[in-house]
Structure 1
Amino acid sequence: MNNVTFTVADAAVSIIKAPLVSPFRIATGQHDELDNVFVRLTTSDGVRGYGEAAVASHITGETVPGTVANLKSAAAALKGRTIESVEEVCRELAPSFAGNHAGLAALEMALLDVASRLQGIPLYRLFTGITSREPALAFATDITVVIGSLEEARATAREFASRGFTAFKIKIGKDEELDLARILAVREMAPESRLILDANMGFDAKRMLAFLDRLDSHGCRPVLLEQPVPKQDWDGLAAITRALQGSGTLVCADESVGSLADAQRAVESNAVSAINIKTMKSGFFEGAQIARLASDHGIPLMLGAMMESALSITASAHLAAGLGCVDFADLDTTFFIKGDLSHSPYLDESGRFDLAGAGPGIGVDLSKSWNTD
């Protein structure tokens, strides 16, 4: 990674909220609004960088007050400090974010934004060369069909297929009969699209395989099955992976892999056939290590998100572009947000990212949204 020296003149933390188009419902809970914690760093030269922590208490147990406290403590430690290596500073401060990886991700994001802005390069350039793959500057995200009614699933699929989306990620795990109908409705509305199922730990191995058999009887097979069982159920993950070997459906760990150590366990045990990286789970630097591990072992990667605004989504798009080894992009949460925080400069209405002409840094300015209270 390229290093640049700078001094942090000011560091501030703010909670920024935004309404959602509709509730974002999954098997373990839901978001009713975006309610995230942001950090802003300003250098002695007046360059600003921004970071975002997307707090998903129903998934990770993190809280907004705890994240604010951790980021304010880090901000105080950074004020007046001269930074020579962003990565070293982040590793130094990481222990203070134990159990609060979203907070660490926000800090890393802001420092990376500053470093790349100062060098006049897009953020993705800081992550090229980490894997053996060439940068991938253009790619498409899927769109999520949240848990809801059959009519809602059909309407979502119809709308986004008409926009040009070609991959649909369907949340399941609350009602198997309704889940089955919703999946088939999405296939009906978007017959040429790839289907991804995300159970968010809502099944056990036996029930999951039986559910997939039912889908098979309708001639419907997903390309990827994400986190079908509770995160500590490695035996269940392995059983599903073995059963689906050669079927064309990948079994992807999400909640089960929140760290490099988890990823190493997944690789060594052959428990899954794909891994989902999220910066809010592992941060940018550890996420890049997980990507390199997976890439070295030929394991497909998904890069996903919590309920993140355009800032964090665009930063993750830079990470995906620089690593070049992301097979499934799940960076769609801006389509669920209303207002300024929904606009990424490199994402179009059909779900395609294009960073070929990206400017310095992340490319998202929060000055209009920043709460100075």
Structure 2
Amino acid sequence: MEITDVDVVGRDIPLADDFPVSYEDHLTTDHAFVRLHTDDGVTGYGEGTALPWFTGETTRSMVAFLDDWLVPRIEGATLDDAARELATFGSDFPHNAGGKAAVELAILDLQGKRAGVPLWELLGVRHRETVPCVYPVPGLSPERAREVTETGIEAGYRRFKIKATGDVSADVARIDAVLDQLPPDATARVDANTGWESYPKAKAAIGAISDRSKIEYFEQPVAPDRPEDLLKLWEDTGIPVYADELVHTPSDVELIGRKGLTRGCHLKLAKTGSLRIMADMARTANRHRLNATAVSAFGTSLEASAILHLAAVIPAIPLACELDPALLAEDPTDEPLVVGPETPVPDGPGIGVELDDDLFE
């Protein structure tokens, strides 16, 4: 199987609604899409989703990286040679996680289709056929946060994620409003995206929350250059802490596990650039008895489906993973993924979701 043509397109996709976080009032997301044609008529699709505040990438930089560096290396190559070239080049060439992820997903999609197996079979041993998912609550006013939470409750969700923005008083009011809304069997995790900055500020925010009994964990409450603060918050509050912005590579997971800094970590393609490496990171986390949360950060149904395959092979996950292409106003796929409290892992060959070819016209 030889790759005869490579198509690349970038797209800034607006969000369906406001999604304030600690970095900004998020309005659009950055995407690069890849389509690989082969000489036997099989097509593979990939997506890179950038998080500029994590890695500095944007839609335009991902497309430029792909056009200038990766496409010339894989076009005209056999599928196996392209996979080897990507692995070698990816380890030698720094950064550009989104662009690398787009090509790797397209290659994995082709490999799965060639073998007639779902993507998870290429990543490891399946541990689950459905993946529990969390319902997101952006950094909104307490009143709007209650409305969003009620929508999730009515849809059957019992696991929620509350965004904090760094304004402690506003964050506490929002967190209290959501927690008060939850039924007895529900929990919520709180994601500050480093917005609480340091131990004193984070400790004050946590201490101001009225009822912490329904909090599953706090995600990256402090800056990534303060890893010891994560452990101190966990020890002093008794509530688990997870790392996100701190975790980009397998060595980051190894460091957290060796030092026992957190209860778990978040794995994202936008940071790591490789689904295969993310699977290795999950196995490393398991060796250190860490949970690993698989996350699709504003990905379309294509990336979200790939993350479902990853979640299927993660040995230990917490109560829910995070993926919701419904956050996007546009989902340029042939069959948008329906996410619910328990979401089935696609069972067709490859990723199981394809891009709308009109995207490339």
Q: TM-score, normalised by structure 1?
A: 0.89
Aligned partners of 2:315 and 2:256: how far apart in 1? 21
Tell me, in whole angstroms, the C-alpha distance in 1 between the residues paired with 2:324 and 2:349: 23
Q: Which residue in the other structure is 2:23 paired with?
A: 28
Contact 1:127-1:323 at 8 Å conserved across structures: no
- Alignment partner of 1:361 is 2:356: no
| Cα distance change of structure 1 residues 119 and 9 upon mapping to structure 2, 3 Å threshold | same
Deviation per residue, 1:232-257 (Å, 9 max, x gap): 1112122213324xx3x321010001
**Alpha-carbon separation, structure 1, partners of 2:78 and 2:357:** 28
Which residue pairs with 1:144 in the alignment? 136
Partners of 1:116 and 1:123 within 8 A in 2: yes
Give the equivalent residue in structure 1 for 2:70: 74
Distance 1:292 1:344 in 2: 31
SS in 2 for 1:325: coil
Q: Which residue of 2 aligns with 1:3?
A: none
Residue in 1 aligned with 2:90? 94
Q: Which runs of 5+ in 1 are unaligned?
A: 1-5
Count of aligned residue pairs for this structure pair: 357
Change (3 A) 1:270 1:239: same
What's 2:106 paired with? 110
RMSD: 2.1
Q: Does 1:314 align with 2:310?
A: no
Q: Shift in Å at residue 341 of structure 1? A: 3.7
Equivalent residue of 1:223, what SS? strand
1:174 is matched with which residue? Answer: 166
CA positional deviation for 1:97: 4.8
Query: Which amino acid counterpart does residue 271 of structure 1 have in structure 2?
Result: L
Match of 2:208 in 1: 214
1:292-326 deviations in whole A, cap 9, x for unaligned?
11111211111113221111011111111133433
Quote the Cα distance in structure 2 between the aligned partners of 1:89 and 1:136: 32
Aligned partner of 1:252: which letter? Y
The alpha-carbon distance between structure 1 residues 108 and 342, as it changes in their structure 2 partners (threshold 3 A), is: closer
Pairing 1:326–2:320 present: no
- Among candidates 169, 179, 187, match of residue 194 of structure 1: 187
Where do 1:268-287 residues align within 5 Å?
268-282=258-272, 283-287=274-278
Q: Name the CA distance, whole Å, in 2 between partners of 1:175 and 1:12.
A: 43
TM-score (norm: length of structure 2): 0.92
Partners of 1:297 and 1:185 lie apart in 2 by: 35
Distance (Å, rounded) in 1 between the aligned partners of 2:128 and 2:334: 21
Q: How far apart, in 2, do the equivalents of 1:153 and 1:25 lie?
A: 11
2:248 corresponds to 1:253: no
Task: Describe the shift of the 1:312–1:18 C-alpha distance in structure 2 as closer, same or farther (beyond 3 A).
Answer: same
Find the residue that maps to 1:84 and give its secondary structure: helix
**What residue is the counterpart of 2:254 in the other structure?**
264
Q: C-alpha deviations, 1:134-185, integer Å up to 9, x for none? A: 4211122101111121121011001111011111100113221221121122
CA gap 1:263/1:344 in 2 versus in 1, 3 angstroms: farther
Shift of 1:33: 2.3
Check whether the contact 1:113–1:123 (CA below 8 A) recurs between aligned residues: yes
Q: Is the CA contact 1:317–1:331 (under 8 Å) kept in the aligned structure 2?
A: no
Partner of 1:124: 120
Range moving further from structure 2, 232-241 or 198-207: 232-241
In 1, the alpha carbon distance for the partners of 2:83 and 2:315 equals 20
Provide the secondary structure at the position in 2 that maps to 1:71.
helix
- Percent identical among aligned pairs is 28
Report the Cα distance in structure 2 between the residues aligned to 1:157 and 1:119, rounded to whole angstroms: 42
Displacement of 1:88:
3.0
Query: What amino acid sits opposite 2:348 in the alignment?
Result: G
Find the aligned partners of 2:217 and 2:206 in 1 and give their Cα distance: 12
Structure 1 residues 303 and 242, CA gap change in structure 2 (3 angstroms): same
Whole-Å Cα distance in 2 between the matches of residues 93 and 63 of structure 1? Answer: 20
Note the C-alpha offset of 1:369: 4.5
Q: CA deviation at 1:86?
A: 6.4
Q: Where does residue 342 of structure 2 map in the other structure?
A: 352
- Determine the structure 1 residue equivalent to 2:280: 289
- How many angstroms apart in 2 are the aligned matches of 1:63 and 1:38? 13
Give the secondary structure class of the aligned counterpart of 1:263: helix
User: What secondary structure sits across from 2:2 in the alignment?
Assistant: strand
User: Following the alignment from structure 2 to structure 1, what is the Cα–Cα distance between the partners of residues 355 and 323?
Assistant: 19
Task: Give the partner amino acid of 1:135.
Answer: H
Distance 1:321 1:344 in 2: 20
Aligned to 2:2: 7
Cα distance in 1 between the residues matched to 2:287 and 2:341: 28
Q: Is the 8 A contact 2:266 2:294 kept in 1?
A: yes
- Amino acid across the alignment from 2:359: W
